[in-house]
Chains A and B, each alone.
Chain A
């Protein structure tokens, strides 16, 4: 019976520790739709990803892909970069 309590206690302590650390360190997942809202939304496809949703997928993979967006103006691009940095996507 002793053994059961020991293993239960240790496992419980570790699970609490893991829960806290997961809450602290796990990245907040950003959805495609959040990124699409910040894109111009012309669906022109000049970037090479077909549409703005394709562009959003590409940005999730590599944030530097946003530079390929043509309709976005320079100051808008700077704002977009700070948005990515805030969300922790930019490395």
Chain B
């Protein structure tokens, strides 16, 4: 598979949120406003890209030679937690308003299953270093794209008249379901790219 089709595949065809259903917590939680959603997407992109490079080296040069690949989940969580802490330091120092609006969701990237899921999928698909970087950037760009579009729709819905029983999260979940249905249609792109 070429790198371009790997990128498209991880961003759209097998989108981390809408087809693998990982990372739903920040997807629902931080999509209240587009600014917040974009900040969250960029934070996740940074954490995923950097920590996937580190986990690649740790897995292939520390865990495999010492025959202790059963530690991968624990070690990957350590790496992710470290990067989230570093990211929080930077955001707090240079973007205090974003830090305030993201609130608890920023440290919660540590336990965001999308991040750990991307790392574990990179390892189990036996990607090379370049493929690892491309697929992590693709997945997180897909995450950012989806969360941004979703938050724009939610902002628009706030200005519309919605039945009382549907206000807030119920209508948001319906929107998410329709988006997932639409995203399932992208499978065709990947099928074309194989041939």
A, B bound: yes
Interface residues of A (CB under 8 A from B): 2-3, 6-7, 10-11, 14, 17-18, 21-22, 25-27, 91
* Cβ < 8 Å to A, chain B residues 66-96: 66-68, 70-71, 74-75, 78-79, 82, 85-86, 89-90, 92-93, 96
A2→B67 contact, CB < 8 A: yes
Interface residues of B (CB under 8 A from A): 58, 62-63, 66-68, 70-71, 74-75, 78-79, 82, 85-86, 89-90, 92-93, 96
Q: Which residue of A lies closest to B95 (CB)?
A: A91
From DSSP, what is the main secondary structure of chain B's interface residues? helix
From DSSP, what is the main secondary structure of chain A's interface residues? helix
Tell me how many residue pairs across A and B have CB atoms closer than 8 Å: 42
* Contacts A14-B82, A18-B82; A6 near B67 (Cβ below 8 A): no
* Contacts A6-B63, A18-B86; A25 near B71 (Cβ below 8 A): no
B78→A18 contact, CB < 8 A: no
- Please list the 10 inter-chain residue pairs (A to B) with the smallest Cβ-Cβ separation, ordered nearest first: A14-B82, A3-B68, A25-B89, A25-B93, A3-B71, A2-B66, A2-B68, A18-B85, A21-B86, A10-B78
Contact of A26 (CB < 8 Å), options: B67, B68, B93: B93
- Write the nearest CB–CB distance from B192 to chain A, whole angstroms: 42
For the complex, what is the distance from the CA of A3 to the CA of B74, rounded to whole Å?
10
A7→B74 contact, CB < 8 A: yes
Chain A hits for B74, CB < 8 A = 7
